[in-house]
Amino acid sequence: MSQTRTDAASADSGRRLYVVLTRTGTGVARVIRILTRKPYSHASISMDSSLQQLFSFCRNDPRFPLPASFNEEIVGEGVFGRFSHIPCEIYEIPITEEQYETFHSHLTHFKNFRRLYSYSLSGLVSVPLQIRRKLRYKFVCSQFVAYMLQECNVTLEKPASLYSPEDLRHLPTAKLIYRGELNEYYADLLQRQHSYDWMHSTV
């Protein structure tokens, strides 16, 4: 499978956020793709290009669609661990230190008050129909990602409640840095990190 990688900008030490769009083989994901006719059905967000910590609204138990809520996702585990073939796109968004701190503060809130939040079943209807809703305690994955970007003043083209995974592919300030297999991206990062550690351990 062809892959495209664009090296992330490294000329400065600015902060970055990473939007990760994926396509798994779950029944729900297949239905979403059939209905939307778009390549990706799930969205996550990370503060690190290594994707060691991904955050989204998704199933609590990888075996069952519900219950679902705010969760940390780990590449190779949970739903991501059920499938060896996970096409993805990764987008990098440059942010300021102030935006980074705001994002981190909101993320900490979601972690600390996770039990207040749940997956928005109505969002599965309102997003495709572009029905605007107030986001408070219920989100679908793409609404959550857009909401987090909105709260730290990343430019959006419409309200966060209207964002689908497809819409996240067209964020004004986002840069595509990878298209291909999620597991291969992660394995490549680990291999490069191990090589880096080995070279420095022999100095």
pLDDT tens, position by position, 163-179: 999 999 999 999 999 99
The pLDDT value recorded for residue 66 is: 95
The pLDDT value recorded for residue 203 is: 53
Mean pLDDT along residues 111-137:
97
Contacts of 106 (CB under 8 A, 6+ apart): 148, 151, 152
Mean pLDDT along residues 81-96:
96
**CB burial class (10 A; 0-12, 13-18, 19+) of residue 100?**
middle
Query: Which of 125, 144, 127, 124 has the alpha carbon at shortest distance from 135?
Result: 144
State the chain's mean pLDDT as an integer.
Answer: 90
Say whether pLDDT at 153 is over 50. Answer: yes
| Residue 174 three-state SS | coil
In a domain, 55, yes or no: yes
In a domain, 171, yes or no: yes
In a domain, 203, yes or no: no
In a domain, 124, yes or no: yes
* pTM score, whole prediction: 0.89
Mean pLDDT along residues 51-75:
96
pLDDT, tens digit (0-9, with 9 covering 90-100), for 29-54? 999 989 899 999 999 999 999 998 99
The tokens describing 51, both together, are: 């994707």
Say whether pLDDT at 10 is over 50. Answer: no
In a domain, 95, yes or no: yes
Q: How many domains does the chain have?
A: 1
The pLDDT value recorded for residue 6 is: 41
CATH number of the domain encompassing residue 41: 3.90.1720
Mean pLDDT along residues 15-32:
95
Count H helices and E strands in the chain, helices first.
6, 9
